[in-house]
Amino acid sequence: MSHTINKIEQQFLEHMYTMNAYEQALGLMEWDARTKIPEKGTDDRAEAVGRLSTELFQLTTSDKTAYYVDTILAYKEDEVTPWIRKAAEELKKQYERSVRIPSEEYQEYSTLAAKSEAVWEQAKEADDFEMLRPYLEKLVEFSRRFAEYWGYDKHPYDALLEDYEPGMTTEMLDDVFNRLHKRLQPLVDEVAASSVKPDTSILFEPFPKQKQTAVSSNILRRMTYDFAAGRLDETAHPFALGLNPSDVRVTTNYDENDFRTALFGTIHEGGHALYEQNLPQEWKATVLSDGASMGIHESQSLFWENVVGRSKAFWEYHYDMLREEAGSAFDDVTLDEFYRAINTAGPSLIRIEADELTYTLHIMLRYEIEKQLINGDIEVKDLPRIWNEKMQEYLGITPPDDSKGVLQDVHWSFGAFGYFPSYALGYMYAAQFYDALRRDIPDFDTKLQEGNLEPIKQWMTNHVHQYGKSKTPVEIIKEATGESINPDYLLDYLETKYRKLYSL
């Protein structure tokens, strides 16, 4: 490597380190806003977030960024450190996308999104959609405008999808969701008609928050989550936040009358956190130190939450620990009864509490609404009515109020239109990984029964975590499983599990 390119690489790294310092500051402000901030501090915080976001945006779209990426990519491949070249390719994509948005619009958008998220929390608690509506209207307007800035071939929604699942289009989603729904709906109907019904009353025994925290912490440790590089906090809507691989935080939400909310929420966010904690240390503070896509990220959380956390083998090891913390709540409940209860299936109002079988129906519902919203076929004022109609169409139930309906998710309140499909894609990816992992670890169930989760985490690190953002979702899936996304793996997994559970 010549002295010149060596010097440019170091300058490029320093530039990314500066950008990452802003990202970490914004990430910490986001965590604080969702967990600790006083109510009166939200507006000033939103203004600060808007200003810092704009500074980062201007760094991303600066002449310096253009110079570094163009200079590095002009060298021959064997003249540049391979991973630094990958970082230049990724930052060039971000530059070309961001530079199309006027800086003053981005600041206005960032400030609005920060304020809107705080209002969402109040609106949800008050069951008052009208409180959030004016913020959502402006955010939708921004999203439609950004889609035009970025450009698209067939549908404006495609431009938004690119932020979360690079290369994905509405045409591809329509195809894979149609295939999924065609086989899934009959299975959902069969389960609903089955005379075999697990006793779910055992799930609603009082379970103090402090004891639930102990269970959640123990399971995170068993998953190999590193508490020296993270923490567990409480929030209204669970999330995981990776500031860097040495500081990855998990939050959860507690319901003392339904322990599943915190338990499976924590396992879900723990899956995200393992991804972030096991990104290559060499790449920290660069654009490669991130997940390949939100779909790949969700594959990790859904794999741990459902494939691992809802399996009988997992609870053969962990059930005694849960019973000990729960006091007398499960004294007369057998492991088999417990396993059947936590895997009960049926229509439910809340996405994050949905069972494995109906979960993707919640995502399809949101996807259909988002497409219409961005395309201008419906407006924000129509959302409560459309939401209730779609819930009836997909799940056969109607929310009693907007808090349990259109206001239940935080995503729209901070402008994340195009995000929801990644949940269903992640579930499909998770099932494909599961099939490949079982081929590589034939004693998978034995590992779970022994409480030995390290080999599972290591498989994910070898096939997913270690690549960060250096590979595309398509590359990761194909290299790990041998084929592109295929919904049949998820359908086979669900049919096998639920036909046995419900004696179909």
Compute CA 109 distance to the chain's CA centroid, rounded to the nearest angstrom.
22
Measured distance CA(148)–CA(201) in Å, rounded: 51
- What the block records as the tokens of 213 is 């925290």
Measured distance CA(257)–CA(207) in Å, rounded: 6
- What the block records as the tokens of 245 is 């691989």
Among 179, 165, 171, which Cα is nearest to 425's? Answer: 165
**Tokens 């590979």, residue?**
471
Measured distance CA(68)–CA(60) in Å, rounded: 11
- What the block records as the tokens of 466 is 């270690």
Measured distance CA(14)–CA(156) in Å, rounded: 36
* Residue 109 burial class via C-beta count within 10 angstroms: exposed 0-12, middle 13-18, buried 19 and up: buried
Measured distance CA(141)–CA(452) in Å, rounded: 49
269 counts as catalytic: yes
Distances (CA, A) of 319 to 26, 142, 339: 39, 48, 10
**Tokens 């034939």, residue?**
442
- 3 annotated as a binding-site residue: no
User: Rg of the chain's alpha carbons, rounded to an integer?
Assistant: 23
Residue 327, C-beta contacts closer than 8 angstroms, at least 6 positions apart: 211
- Which residue type is seen at 255? D
Compute CA 105 distance to the chain's CA centroid, rounded to the nearest angstrom.
27
Extract long-range pairs of 25-28: CB within 8 Å, 24+ residues apart: 25/52, 26/52, 26/53, 26/56, 27/241, 27/242, 27/243, 28/243
Among 489, 376, 390, 475, which Cα is nearest to 434's? Answer: 489
Measured distance CA(259)–CA(219) in Å, rounded: 14
DSSP 356: T
- 362 annotated as a binding-site residue: no
Catalytic residue among 269, 276, 305, 356: 269
Q: What does the DSSP assignment read for 301-365? A: HHIIIIIITTSHHHHHHHHHHHHHHTTTTTTT--HHHHHHHHT-----S-GGG--TTTHHHHHHH
- 298 annotated as a binding-site residue: yes
Among 283, 288, 297, which Cα is nearest to 92's? Answer: 288
- What the block records as the tokens of 436 is 């490949």
Annotated binding residues for Zn(2+), written as ranges, equal 268, 272, 298
Q: Which residues form the catalytic set? A: 269
Annotated binding residues, written as ranges, equal 268, 272, 298
